Structure 1
Amino acid sequence: MAGSLVTLCVVVAASFAVAAAGWSSGTATFYGGVDGSGTMGGACGYDNLYNAGYGVNNAALSPTLFNDGASCGQCYTIMCDTSRPGGQYCKVGITITITATNLCPSNYALPNGGWCGPGRPHFDMSQPAWENIGIYSGGVIPVLYQQVKCWRRGGVRFSIAGSNYFLLVNIQNLAGSGSVGAAWVKGDKTGWIQMSRNWGANWQALSRLVGQGLSFAVLSTGGQYIQFLNVVPGWWQFGQAFTSYQNFDY
């Protein structure tokens, strides 16, 4: 009896500690196969997630977390929550940090839009990432999560698409907050041009910039502003990507 009481007190104390540390409650499923290959691409536009700097530890976010693409690139630490129904499928005491790379859309063929329905904080994680914290046979687990600082190798990466009169840039591999709050582009023959979010992590400028070397300025959602001067040479072509030597701290 005394042993059971001590165990109960430890669990309650741990729950209070987690709540105080700023963790939030959600749920998690998995997709993409045992090697995570099915998670490549997605609603952030990163295409090959290894090239973009993110790898297999990624997740699709429900609309309430995805925020119309504003959360693309953000990092979340996730642990399974043994205190809630489904907790028997938890791997206890393990956390995994993932990058938001895709959208898990609501499925209105299911009640309330399914796991990714409106108002539900849900992570549809790559299978390899999910299996760090959950037992495969469970399929869906309750989780605790919090947004954390991103750590990246190398600099911010700019992947170029568009047409002669339309520049579309996918901004990748951000450290710090992980996501873009605002962006600007400057050609050799122009001043700074304000860009706007097209979709996901793709930012657009309705300007003719072909044949000009390009500089970018990025404001992270953490509030840090960096100019990436002359990061793209004048001989660039659509479909190419260029990596800078700078990255964010917050």
Structure 2
Amino acid sequence: MAGILQALVLSSLLILVLALPITNAFPIGKAPKPRSLHQSILRPWKKGRATFYGGADASGTVGGACGFEDPIKEYGLHTVALSTVLYKNGSNCGACYEIKCDKKNKMCKPGASSIYVTATNYCPPGGWCSPPAHHFDLSEPAFTKVAEQSAGVVPILFRRVHCKKQGGIKFTVTGSPYFNMVSISNVGGAGNVKKVEVKGHKKLNHWTELNHNWGTKWDTSATLVGEKLSFRITTGDGRTIVSHNVAPSDWQFGQTFEGKNFNL
């Protein structure tokens, strides 16, 4: 009988010892949280409102105050025109947002998930877009993903997110030998461009900062013709990326070149 009791005690002690590393691995309430599904989030949720424009095929969104030549081709059907507070004189062109309909409103589509949109246009003051409103004039295909078309305008929740893009940052150079305009698109990460610098391989062998002209357009009077062009881009969150020799020395005006992009 004593032998049986001794065996039971030893077994209990062994079980306790084995359990200790598990139970003491994390203090109560301190267990690590699972990896977030929203690692790309830059900002907390805020309240705003949304309307729509551009037609069912979004053809009316082409062009606009950000200077993208063909937003549909570059960013798809889910784009947005920002109100003055959000547009910030074009400095937020290319930024990305996650938007969901405020489900307290009966015009929200039941069970609709969030949509992700890229800022490609400006919604000028007047009506819903007047300051200080946080207003999003969505493409119609984007709006109807989260709300009934007949609603016209709905309350939303929105937050800034990182942009996930396929391929590299695109640089289109136009102008003349004496004035060069560089259009920049398909920017990942923060999406919006804060600073652009260019460097050649011969006379322009140092980084030269471009001027912000409007939207996604940047200009310089530096002589770029005949130079292999490298670009250094700084986005709105302060991150910098360099694309070396993206344009050969015999590049021509109107051509588009593709460089590196931000990996999330």
Q: TM-score range by the shorter chain?
A: 0.7 to 0.9
Unmatched 5+ stretches in structure 1: 1-20, 108-113
- Partners of 1:80 and 1:92 within 8 A in 2: no
In the alignment, the residues of structure 2 paired with residue 222 and residue 99 of structure 1 have an alpha-carbon distance, to the nearest angstrom, of 16
Q: Report the CA distance between 1:50 and its aligned residue.
A: 4.1
1:218 aligns with 2:237: no
1:249 aligns with 2:226: no
1:132 aligns with 2:145: yes
- How do residues 152-167 of structure 1 correspond to structure 2 at under 5 angstroms? 152-167=165-180
| Structure 1, 87-96 or 55-64: larger mean CA deviation | 87-96
In the alignment, the residues of structure 2 paired with residue 164 and residue 59 of structure 1 have an alpha-carbon distance, to the nearest angstrom, of 35
Query: SS at 1:115's partner residue?
Result: helix
Q: Deviations over 1:40-83 (max 9, x none)?
A: 111111111244x3111100000100011111111100011133
Q: Report the CA distance between 1:206 and its aligned residue.
A: 1.8
The percent identity for this pair of structures is 45
- For residue 47 of structure 1, what is the amino acid of its counterpart? E
**Pick aligned residue for 2:106 from 53, 76, 88:** 88
Q: Report the CA distance between 1:164 and its aligned residue.
A: 1.7
Query: SS at 1:106's partner residue?
Result: coil
In the alignment, the residues of structure 2 paired with residue 50 and residue 139 of structure 1 have an alpha-carbon distance, to the nearest angstrom, of 22
- For residue 118 of structure 2, what is the amino acid of its counterpart? T
- How do residues 7-86 of structure 1 correspond to structure 2 at under 5 angstroms? 22-51=44-73, 53-83=74-104
In the alignment, the residues of structure 1 paired with residue 72 and residue 142 of structure 2 have an alpha-carbon distance, to the nearest angstrom, of 15
- For residue 48 of structure 2, what is the amino acid of its counterpart? G
Unmatched 5+ stretches in structure 2: 1-42
Query: SS at 1:88's partner residue?
Result: coil
In the alignment, the residues of structure 2 paired with residue 58 and residue 172 of structure 1 have an alpha-carbon distance, to the nearest angstrom, of 14
In the alignment, the residues of structure 2 paired with residue 211 and residue 81 of structure 1 have an alpha-carbon distance, to the nearest angstrom, of 54
In the alignment, the residues of structure 2 paired with residue 137 and residue 126 of structure 1 have an alpha-carbon distance, to the nearest angstrom, of 15
- For residue 79 of structure 1, what is the amino acid of its counterpart? K
- For residue 91 of structure 1, what is the amino acid of its counterpart? K
1:106 aligned partner: 125
TM-score w.r.t. structure 1 length? Answer: 0.84
- For residue 219 of structure 2, what is the amino acid of its counterpart? Q
Q: Deviations over 1:144-170 (max 9, x none)?
A: 100011100001100112222111111
In the alignment, the residues of structure 1 paired with residue 92 and residue 139 of structure 2 have an alpha-carbon distance, to the nearest angstrom, of 17
1:193 aligns with 2:208: yes
Query: SS at 1:73's partner residue?
Result: coil
- For residue 195 of structure 1, what is the amino acid of its counterpart? L
Q: Cα gap change, 1:23/1:92 in structure 2, threshold over 3 Å: closer, same or farther?
A: farther
In the alignment, the residues of structure 2 paired with residue 224 and residue 128 of structure 1 have an alpha-carbon distance, to the nearest angstrom, of 32
Q: Report the CA distance between 1:249 and its aligned residue.
A: 3.5
Query: SS at 2:86's partner residue?
Result: helix
In the alignment, the residues of structure 2 paired with residue 213 and residue 47 of structure 1 have an alpha-carbon distance, to the nearest angstrom, of 25
Q: Report the CA distance between 1:22 and its aligned residue.
A: 1.9
Query: How many residues in Structure 1 have an aligned counterpart in Structure 2?
Result: 219
Q: Deviations over 1:197-234 (max 9, x none)?
A: 11001111121212322110011112221111110122
2:13 aligned partner: none
Q: Deviations over 1:116-136 (max 9, x none)?
A: 101111111111011101101
